Structure formats: structure tokens, C-alpha cells
């Protein structure tokens, strides 16, 4: 009984330190769920008829410490709600979702039966930085009220049934780092404003019904990491400005399955891209400048199913190229010897006008003959010997 007091007076510093620690501990155990936030969450749970994902949301326990999918700040306010993958989350997102005023991170996705529009109450979540509604069955347009979420850095509305155009109001979200509107039914043009979002590093608009040209402003993005505009109905060619991207290296650039046509501007040969996918378009003319020995970052080049026509004998192949598909074009000439020395994992040069010996070397003969077939006169392993 006496001992603690004695110790405190002798080892004053240790004692205050311990008191300090225990007060910290008190603070964290005082992280009791704010009752307003708790009631809001319970309202969401009941709205979805106590769906299985909310099984731990027990009214008798603390929402901050005992409920999965939830995180709180030091004051017991809910800052994060992350729930995903369930078949029994059925119906619309309830307006109650907007009654979590401290929410920074909302990920509510992969619920195939979550339908209806994106509710206006989402616009009340002023502190939201991360909004992920991917993989639901949401319908209607991309609402303008999203532009009220000024701190938003991550916006993923992919894999829903959204319709209409990409609204210009999104341009107000200047902090966005990632935008995914992929796999919806969006129409209209790709707005130029994406090019002026200084922090935008990933833009995924693939698999929609977007028309019109690729905006040249996108080359202005100083932090671009990946862009995918594939599976749309884009027309025109690649903007000439794409020869001088503000970003030193772009990891992923895909514009496959569009209605892009005409020659690719020569300037595009200067772009530094790791994975470049141009397949299934109507590009014509020369593409030899996409290859060159100094393109050390290029590992995947896929230009199949276009109308390219150039002499392949003259291309200078980059040393790290691992995946090459030039099939279904009008490419002529022969396969350069250097092709046999590359670290290739996949190759397809079929359905062109190529001729001559397939380069020797251990690598090329391991691929299937079909990868070289339907050319003018290619020969040697894995095809039949040359005469
Ligand atoms: C959900 O759970 C609450 C509380 O346990 C209960 O009152 C309510 O009837 C349940 N609703 C359904 C649809 O099961
Ligand atoms: C709630 O969480 C706290 C802290 O993690 C734990 O001590 C307590 O046992 C949990 N209560 C229930 C009912 O799970
Ligand atoms: C998705 O929503 C549409 C209505 O917008 C509905 O017809 C369809 O059945 C829903 N799909 C699923 C899997 O719930
Ligand atoms: C971009 O990100 C940086 C670093 O995270 C941040 O300091 C800056 O304010 C952001 N720019 C905008 C326009 O939000
Ligand atoms: C794109 O090409 C397809 C097939 O060639 C065609 O049916 C469609 O009308 C074209 N769309 C546009 C917008 O040009
Ligand atoms: C291209 O990217 C590589 C890194 O992958 C870098 O070393 C090289 O300097 C870049 N080239 C140019 C022209 O920016
Ligand atoms: C392709 O280029 C090579 C090397 O310069 C040349 O020998 C050949 O005649 C050219 N082939 C055609 C069809 O122009």
C-alpha cells in the first residue's frame, strides 16, 4: 500500500512518466464511439436489413474498437468506412451516409445489388479524401455535387452503370491523384481539364462510350503514372504534344480498342513509356520510331490489329523489351537479328508481310509457330526450314 507513494517521491520522473503513459492509455480507451456516428452506422446497417458485412456492428459494443470496417479519430468520430464484397447488400445507398461529418475514407464497393443513383448526401462529406464506389450497380449520371468534396484525392466510380457525360464540375477537384470512371456507359468527350490537375497520376476512363479526340492537354500532367482510355470510340490520332510529356517516365499508356486512325505523330517516339498498348485501332503508316535502342524503359509494345506499314528490318530494338505484338498489320521486311537476343516473354508477328530467316538464338524457337504464321515468307525454327 505504501510502496507506490514512496516510489513516486523518490523516482519522481519515472512516476510522472508512468502517469503520462496511463493518461495516454486513458485517452485511447476514451476513444468511445461518438453516439451520433454510431446511430448513423446502425441506420445504414438496418437499411440493408442487417446484411452479413455488418455482422460485427453490435449496438452494445463500441463502434471504434469492436466494429470491423470502421476507424475513428482520437475523439471517437468515424473517419473511415471500408466495406466490400457481399451479395446481400441490396437496395440504394441510404442518405444517412452523409451524416458522418468526419469521414475521410469511404470505400463501399463490390456489392452487385447496390443500385440507384449516387445519393446527394455524399456531397455533405466535406472532409472526404478517398471515395471508392467501385463494382456496384449504381446508375444515373456522375453528380455535380461531388465537386463539393474539395479534399478528394482518390475517386473511383468504376464498374457501375453510370451514364451521361463526364461533368465539368469535376474540374474543381484540384487535389485528385487518381480518377477511375472505367467500365460504365459514359458518353461525350474526354474533358481537357484532366490535363490541368497537377497531382493527377492515374486516369482510368476505359470501357465506356467516350467519343472525340484524346485531349492534348494530358501531356501537361507533371505526375502521370498510368493512363487507360481503351475500349471507347475515340477518334483522331495521338496528339503531337504527347512527344513531350511533363512526366519523365509513364508506366502505363493504353488506348486500345478505339477508332483512332491516321499516322502516329513522329514526336510520340520521344515519349518515355514502359508499357504501351495501341492495339485494335486504325492507325496507319510508320511506327518504327516507337522502337529504338535508347528506349530502355520500354518493356511492352503492343500495336496489333492496326494498319501500320513499315520496314521492320530497320527497327532498332530496345534491350528490355519483353512483350512484343505487331500482328495483324502490313509490316514488311525481315525480323532483325537483335530480336533473338532480347529477354522476350511473348511475341506475335503473325499476319504481316514479313519475309526471311527468323533470327536464331535460344529464345525465338521456344514460341509457337502461330506467332510467326501468315507472313509473306518467314522461315526457320519454329517455322519450316528456309529453302
Ligand atoms: C436488424 O437488427 C436489429 C437489431 O438487432 C433488429 O431490431 C432488426 O429487426 C433487424 N432487422 C432485420 C431485417 O433483421
Ligand atoms: C471491444 O474491444 C476492446 C478493445 O479492443 C476489447 O477489450 C473488448 O473485449 C471488446 N469487446 C467486445 C464485446 O468484443
Ligand atoms: C442493376 O440495376 C438495374 C437497374 O438500374 C437493374 O435492372 C438490375 O437488375 C440490377 N442488377 C443487379 C445485379 O442487381
Ligand atoms: C499535390 O500534392 C502535394 C503533395 O501531396 C500537395 O502538397 C499539394 O498541395 C497538392 N496540390 C494540389 C493542387 O492539391
Ligand atoms: C467506331 O468504329 C466502329 C467499327 O468500325 C463503328 O461501328 C463506329 O461507328 C465507330 N464510331 C465512331 C464514333 O466513329
Ligand atoms: C526514360 O526513363 C528512364 C527510366 O525508366 C530514364 O532512365 C531515362 O532517363 C528516361 N529518358 C528520358 C528521355 O527522359
Ligand atoms: C527493308 O530494309 C532493308 C534494310 O535497309 C532493305 O534491305 C530492304 O530492301 C527493305 N525492304 C523493303 C521491302 O523495302
Q: In sequence order, what DSSP letters do the residues of 13-49 get, joined into one string? A: HHHHHHHHHHHHHHHHHT-PPPHHHHHHHHHHHHHTT
Q: Which of 1-10, 161-170, 232-241, 351-360 has the lowest mean pLDDT?
A: 1-10
pLDDT of 364 reads 85
Atom 1 of ligand 2 has which residue's CA nearest to it?
66
Q: Is the residue at 303 inside a domain? A: yes
The ligand with the least distance to the CA atom of 318 is 6
The ligand with the least distance to the CA atom of 334 is 7
Q: Of 326, 331, 327, 335, whose CA–CA distance to 363 is shortest?
A: 335
Q: Is the residue at 99 inside a domain? A: yes
pLDDT tens digits, one per residue of 248-290:
899 999 999 999 999 999 999 999 999 999 999 999 999 999 9
Contact 155, 176 (CB under 8 A): yes
Atom 12 of ligand 3 has which residue's CA nearest to it?
113
pLDDT tens digits, one per residue of 53-78:
999 999 999 999 999 999 999 999 99
State mean pLDDT over 214-229.
96
Q: Is the residue at 69 inside a domain? A: yes
Q: Is the CB of 50 under 6 A from ligand 1?
A: yes
pLDDT tens digits, one per residue of 170-189:
999 999 999 999 999 999 99
Q: How confident is the model at residue 360 (pLDDT cuts 50, 70, 90)?
A: confident
**In the chain, how many H helices and how many E strands?**
3, 26
Partner residues linked to 72 by β-bridges: 78
Q: How confident is the model at residue 28 (pLDDT cuts 50, 70, 90)?
A: very low
pLDDT tens digits, one per residue of 308-351:
999 999 999 999 999 999 999 999 999 999 999 998 999 999 99
pLDDT at 156 over 80: yes
pLDDT at 7 over 70: no
What is the CATH number for 284? 3.80.10.10
pLDDT of 363 reads 78
Task: Report the distance separating Cα 138 and Cα 118, nearest Å.
Answer: 7
**Best of 233, 235, 262, 307 for a ligand 5 pocket test (most atoms within 8 Å of beta carbon):** 233
Q: Is the residue at 96 inside a domain? A: yes
pLDDT of 235 reads 98
Q: Is the residue at 384 inside a domain? A: no
Please work out, in degrees rounded to the nearest 5, the angle formed at the alpha carbon of residue 76 by the alpha carbons of 74 and 80.
90
pLDDT of 362 reads 67
Work out the mean pLDDT of the chain and round it to a whole number: 91
pLDDT at 142 over 80: yes
State mean pLDDT over 218-222.
94
**Whether this model's pTM surpasses 0.85:** yes
User: What is the 3-state secondary structure of 321-332?
Assistant: CCEEECCCCCCE
Q: Is the residue at 42 inside a domain? A: yes
Q: In sequence order, what DSSP letters do the residues of 108-155 get, joined into one string? A: EE--TTEEEPPPGGGGG-TT--EEE-TTSEEEEE--GGGGG-TT--EE
Q: Is the CB of 172 under 6 A from ligand 4?
A: no
Cα-to-chain-centroid distance, residue 75: 34
Q: Is the CB of 223 under 6 A from ligand 4?
A: no
**Joined grid coordinates for residue 285:** 503508316
Q: Is the residue at 347 inside a domain? A: yes
Give the range of the structural domain holding residue 173, as residue numbers without chain letter.
6-379
Task: Report the distance separating Cα 87 and Cα 31, nearest Å.
Answer: 32
Q: How confident is the model at residue 120 (pLDDT cuts 50, 70, 90)?
A: very high
The ligand with the least distance to the CA atom of 153 is 4
Looking at the structure of the chain, the number of domains it has is 1
Q: Is the residue at 387 inside a domain? A: no
Amino acid at each position: 500500500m505504501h510502496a507506490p507513494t514512496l516510489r513516486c517521491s523518490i523516482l519522481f520522473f519515472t512516476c510522472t512518466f508512468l502517469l503520462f503513459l496511463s493518461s495516454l492509455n486513458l485517452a485511447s480507451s476514451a476513444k468511445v464511439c461518438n453516439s451520433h456516428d454510431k446511430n448513423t452506422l446502425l441506420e445504414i446497417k438496418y437499411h440493408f436489413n442487417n446484411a452479413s458485412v455488418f455482422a460485427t456492428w453490435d449496438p452494445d459494443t463500441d463502434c471504434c474498437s469492436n466494429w470491423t470496417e470502421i476507424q475513428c479519430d482520437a475523439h471517437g468520430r468515424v473517419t473511415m468506412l471500408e466495406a466490400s464484397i457481399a451479395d446481400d447488400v441490396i437496395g440504394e445507398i441510404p442518405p444517412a451516409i452523409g451524416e458522418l461529418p468526419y469521414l475521410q475514407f469511404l470505400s463501399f464497393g463490390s456489392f452487385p445489388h447496390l443500385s440507384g443513383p449516387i445519393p446527394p448526401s455524399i456531397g455533405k462529406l466535406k472532409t472526404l479524401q478517398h471515395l471508392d464506389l467501385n463494382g456496384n450497380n449504381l446508375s444515373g449520371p456522375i453528380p455535380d455535387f461531388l465537386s463539393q468534396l474539395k479534399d478528394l484525392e482518390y475517386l473511383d466510380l468504376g464498374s457501375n452503370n453510370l451514364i451521361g457525360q463526364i461533368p465539368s464540375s469535376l474540374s474543381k477537384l484540384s487535389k485528385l491523384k487518381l480518377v477511375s470512371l472505367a467500365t460504365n456507359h459514359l458518353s461525350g468527350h474526354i474533358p481537357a481539364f484532366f490535363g490541368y490537375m497537377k497531382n493527377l497520376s492515374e486516369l482510368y476512363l476505359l470501357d465506356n462510350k467516350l467519343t472525340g479526340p484524346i485531349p492534348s492537354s494530358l501531356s501537361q500532367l507533371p505526375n502521370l503514372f498510368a493512363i487507360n482510355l481503351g475500349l471507347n470510340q475515340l477518334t483522331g490520332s495521338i496528339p503531337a504534344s504527347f512527344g513531350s510529356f511533363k512526366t519523365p517516365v509513364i508506366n502505363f499508356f493504353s488506348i486500345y480498342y478505339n477508332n483512332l486512325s491516321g499516322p502516329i505523330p513522329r514526336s510520340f517516339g520521344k515519349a518515355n513509356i514502359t508499357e504501351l498498348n495501341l492495339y485494335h485501332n486504325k492507325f496507319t503508316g510508320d511506327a518504327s520510331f516507337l522502337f529504338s535502342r535508347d528506349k530502355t524503359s520500354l518493356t511492352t509494345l503492343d500495336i496489333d490489329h492496326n494498319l501500320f506499314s513499315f520496314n521492320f528490318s530497320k527497327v532498332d530494338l530496345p534491350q528490355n523489351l519483353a512483350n512484343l505484338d505487331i500482328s495483324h498489320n502490313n509490316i514488311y521486311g525481315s525480323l532483325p537479328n537483335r530480336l533473338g537476343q532480347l529477354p522476350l516473354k511473348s511475341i506475335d508477328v503473325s499476319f504481316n508481310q514479313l519475309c526471311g530467316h527468323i533470327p536464331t538464338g535460344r529464345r525465338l524457337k521456344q514460341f509457337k509457330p502461330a506467332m510467326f504464321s501468315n507472313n509473306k515468307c518467314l522461315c526457320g525454327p519454329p517455322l519450316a526450314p528456309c529453302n
